[in-house]
Amino acid sequence: MSQSIRPLRPRDPSEHHRVSTTLELFFDLITVIAIAAVTAGLHHGISAGHGLEMLPRFLFLFVGVWWCWMNFTWFASAFDNDDALYRFLVMVIMCGELIFAGGAGYIFETLDMRFGLLGWVIMRLGMAGLWLRAARGNPDWHRTCIRYAIGIVVAQALWILIYVGTAPGSTAFFIAAVLIYVVELGVPAFAESARATPFHRHHIIERYGLLMIISLGEIMLSVSHGFGALFSDHPSLEAALVAVSGLVLVFSIWWVYFCEEEHLTTTAMLPAMIWGYGHVLIYLATAMLGAAIAAWVDVVTHHGAATADEVSRWLGLALALLFATLWLVRDRAHRLPARLNLALPVMAAVFAVGSFLGLPIWAYAILSVVLVNWRAPHLGGDKGAS
């Protein structure tokens, strides 16, 4: 047993061939379950014509899922030693996230956080345990790790207070939740100001890319529902058109997102935090897009109360948010030729205008192909070549 418990030393941030571990991929599997559960709630809300009412709940729960993934991912990039105790604590976190995911539908409907709170407490125990382990074995990062552990515990105590002190779904609940998320997001800045953790830049880029693929999988699930309408008693060619258009959209998003290998160009704290935190809007917009496409399938198969124009607003705004944020966190930091640097903000504005015009989904698909040919016209070589 002594050989299976090793000191939790920092990883080399310049380590060659650093890739995601099977445990990290396993963790992502739990995350995709949680994202799917939260996205399903927004899908049903949009389909029923109550999407705007459901939006605060979606934002509240989605950010919680992302934050769990975010905390673990950056820790693992800096301190993963893959010993038995490390694996056990990560599995504790996974258990908590799965409890939260299992209750996501119930939480979405009622905002009763009983089971969600239980899941979060379990997750925090595992995460705080990891930081305390790192603090014990690394005097150079002791203050940083202790700050993380204290921040996690304090934030969790605040979530318990919000559950005890506010009514589920009340204005006070959402105001308090926003304030606690501000505390949550501030913990890394406070902790890293003692000494920055030695995260591996390329490993982090890969981890974020893998979560993006998971998010795109939510759209693929919606697309499959559209194709599934071909096999019903009353085959719907209109649903198939929605599915084909959705497929073009998801392929285009993949193409544009992964057209730059060096997503994060520096390990400096401020740009790294802008890139790391900003991605929540990319993932959130991608999940919203999946919910909107699923709702569009409901509309054309007469299973939804919303109109096509209403769903179009959700789809167009989700695309606008996704590409505007991608420009902010990635393209703005790259030295791109002007014509390439303009692609994402200009097309984000076009998608936003399209949402208010109520464009059909096939029009968004055509616009996405235009964006691919504008922003990523080359598969290799000099991207700035004319």
pLDDT value, residue 385? 40
pLDDT value, residue 3? 55
Query: What's the topology of domain 201-375?
Result: I/LWEQ domain (1.20.1410)
pLDDT value, residue 274? 94
Which residues of the chain fall below pLDDT 50?
A: 1-2, 381-386
The token pair at 219 is: 């759209």
Q: CB–CB of 257/330 below 8 Å?
A: no
| Sign, CA torsion 171/175/181/187 | negative
| Sign, CA torsion 281/106/216/78 | positive
Secondary structure (DSSP) of 201-260:
HHHHHHHHHHHHHHHHHHHHHHHHHHHHGGGSSS--HHHHHHHHHHHHHHHHHHHHHTT-
Query: With left for phi above 0 and alpha for psi between -120 and 50, is residue 142 left, alpha or beta?
Result: alpha
Q: What is the pTM of this model?
A: 0.92
pLDDT value, residue 2? 39
Q: CB–CB of 24/284 below 8 Å?
A: no
pLDDT value, residue 9? 87
Supply φ then ψ for residue 118, to 5 degrees. Answer: -60, -45
| Sign, CA torsion 225/230/236/239 | positive
Q: CB–CB of 318/288 below 8 Å?
A: yes
